[in-house]
Structure 1
């Protein structure tokens, strides 16, 4: 039988809706039974866990299979469905960003407890920062950690495809948040969020922005709403107070770059003369996405051209190439 503490943890995580801890504890129980020689029971438990995870995953595609009304059939054209599997520990982030994301997760996992005391969990988030610094990936992380699907709404496409109908389509998205709990990512948010005082914006965009402000203000669903922008300085000031948290994603520090390179290049043969600290120093100013692409390129060279190890010269070559556009 499972240890008393594991049973307590299992019940506690189920009650709190912490799926990650629930599955982890269940797997610990299965592993303990296997160590005791109860292989049949251990295999049965593992199959039950896998089946439960699959069932949970299938629930997230209900929006595609069970439209509640005819209007919601249009959601397939408005939302891009993603099933992320990246975890918070898989990302290299600044301590402040990591702490902010962890706080969102902690509150979401205690959402029932907070609501029982008349409080609301953080759920309306604004991500800002230069491209390639983890905004979109962090939305993936929140969805994955909470066991929720991720829906991406590209606002520039919404306006260009549905000129004259944008407000009705946006309202449809917010209506869906009540019916389908998920993470909703409004990517390239500056395409509608530009200040209403700007004289360059077309009337349609201003109307969509006003509608967004109204919808996010009155939203009381359990879905998470994330707006991501590379240009926070252009956003209308009225937007900022509508969000529970504004999380700024900075460029990686030298230490961040070093950590990411070490993670990316694990398992590959490195030249004995390679100094990753020097590479990290030279790569300052590049984004996380740039560093990832550099690591991918040197790994491909190693495999395609049969090189014996990843060299300092090769890494510096790719770092310089990435820096040229900047």
Structure 2
């Protein structure tokens, strides 16, 4: 049993998370079995089973959410914490994307069962796709589904603020992943690859990359989910990309998906079915985020005008404005 296992056991005991404590015990049993200590492994598994047999009612994590964990010390300057409420059902996702995420949630919810059979749930996800397509929101939705805190690490900010110390700062994050169960979003993950070859790097990027590679290989007794989001998968180091359990690709929404996003965002505000049909063409080529912002703008105008109906021509104009903004900064090539 490693020091990390002991720390994780103490942490779960302090938080009153009995199910996590038992899961860690099963992880230790699996480690002992691989080391050839079959008797010790069997004894541990039997002890866990006795506790579960004696326990009445559902596991503690299923009965109530864990307390909101907040970064302390040096982590406060590089990690933001939140407790999201919007679940995956509140997102408009392509069927293939929804299936992959549902598989991750199912494995995480049954992580104790998987560990009893020497397996672990998917914990490392790579989300790729254009800006505004739902990658960041997915991390939040996973946290809500699993009733876990969301910890967001802005990698580009870490690089900028702690040049020369980035690897050691990320080590603090990695240690928290091993000690505190949650969903960890490594936002702007392409920064790991984008800075390769920088003449002013002085080996900093290589140290960071080696640190991340080392982390990806470490055991994660808390089964925390690490979500890396990038707009530029083509610049990621191949050795890094191979270490993810699931790669989820996001694209611009279809016409039907765009309409669904628009309707969901309108909420109690009304828009005639005929008007929605007329907006389908305006929705084409816009990301989820752009549709949301355009719809929110139309809703705000309706609120200020004291109306519960959305003016279709105004919403169409907002959608056209978003497209013009996109084309100005991202012209077609």
TM range (shorter): 0.7 to 0.9
Give the corresponding residue for 2:178: 178
CA contact (8 A) 2:268 2:308 kept: no
Q: Which runs of 5+ in 1 are unaligned?
A: 1-10, 23-52, 65-71
Aligned to 1:14: 58
Distance in 2, matches of 1:99 and 1:298, equals 32
Cα drift, residue 271 of structure 1: 4.8
Q: Give 1:314 shift.
A: 1.2
Q: How far has the Cα of 1:208 moved from its partner?
A: 0.7
Q: Deviations over 1:110-139 (max 9, x none)?
A: 001111111110010000111111101000
> Shift of residue 18 of structure 1?
7.2
> In 2, distance between residues paired with 1:299 and 1:133?
21
Deviation (angstroms), 1:87: 0.9
Match of 1:115, SS state, is: helix
List 4+ stretches of structure 1 deviating above 4 A: 198-201
Cα distance in structure 2, aligned partners of 1:279 and 1:235: 37
Which SS does the other structure have where 1:279 is aligned? Answer: helix
Q: CA deviation at 1:282?
A: 2.0
Match of 1:233 in 2: 234
For these two proteins, the number of residue pairs brought into alignment is: 270
The offset of 1:277, in angstroms, is 2.3
CA distance in 2, matches of 1:297, 1:220: 43
RMSD of aligned residue pairs (Cα, Å): 2.2
Counterparts of 1:307 and 1:173, CA distance in 2: 48
How do 1:1-326 residues align onto structure 2 when only pairs under 5 Å count?
Answer: 14-15=58-59, 19=62, 53=64, 56-58=65-67, 60-61=68-69, 63-64=70-71, 73-194=73-194, 196=196, 198=197, 202=201, 203-221=203-221, 222-271=223-272, 274-307=274-307, 309-325=309-325, 326=327
Contact residue 125 and residue 245 of structure 1 kept, 8 A: yes
Distance 1:18 1:297, change over 3 A: same
Deviation, structure 1 residue 267: 1.8
Aligned equivalents of 1:18, 1:258: Cα separation in 2: 37
Unaligned runs of 5+ in 2: 1-54, 328-333
